[in-house]
Amino acid sequence: MHEQDYNEALKHTHTGGTLDLHALNVQIFLKMHRSDYADKQLKIMQQTDEDHTLTQLANAWLDIAVGGSKIREAYLIFQDFAEKYPMTGMVLNGKAVCCMHMGSFEEAETLLLEALNKDAKDPETLANLIVCNLHLGKPSSRYFSQLKLSHPDHVLVKTTTSAEGNFERALQAVA
């Protein structure tokens, strides 16, 4: 998304016109933490074709971002995808994220391990497994090492590396 410059990305997609561009706008607005604008884009998509897979996917993304009771609705959308289409890593990750939001970390782990079997280097699967394992009290260093090796620019790797550096500097300051 234009090297994390969301305003620049929106300059290229704001005209919309297709479900693809509206879905991309939903993603951009969610990354900007503007679910209100994402909702406006989703409404345009729903007016165009409420049952389209991309509209449903954007709806699930927004439901996850909004949270609360909307998580169950997102889960049902991903469940519907799982019944209609071959199971993909994206669908498995979507269901797993919903499960984690609902506190079902064991189910989330099962889904994420299935996604990992489909693509052992998928950054979102690895990141979600790290979070899930932390909640389960299981070691996550294996998945973090894989993520760091295969996707060193992933936001989780960068944030963790930065926090570790800050901790080391603080530790040295008091030592």
Dump pLDDT digits (tens) for 27-49: 999 999 999 999 999 999 999 99
Indicate whether 124 belongs to any domain.
yes
Residues 95 and 31 in one domain: no
Residues 58 and 138 in one domain: no
The domain in which residue 25 lies consists of 1-66
**Distance (Å, whole) CA 78 – CA 142:** 28
Read off the pLDDT of each residue in 73-90 and give the average, rounded to a whole number: 96
**Distance (Å, whole) CA 125 – CA 117:** 10
pLDDT at 2 > cutoff 80:
no
Structural domain total, the chain: 2
Indicate whether 152 belongs to any domain.
yes
Residues 127 and 59 in one domain: no
Last residue of a domain, one of 18, 33, 66: 66
pLDDT number for residue 3: 57
Average pLDDT, the chain: 94
The answer to whether 95 touches 82, Cβ cutoff 8 Å, is yes
Last residue of a domain, one of 20, 36, 66: 66
Residues 37 and 100 in one domain: no
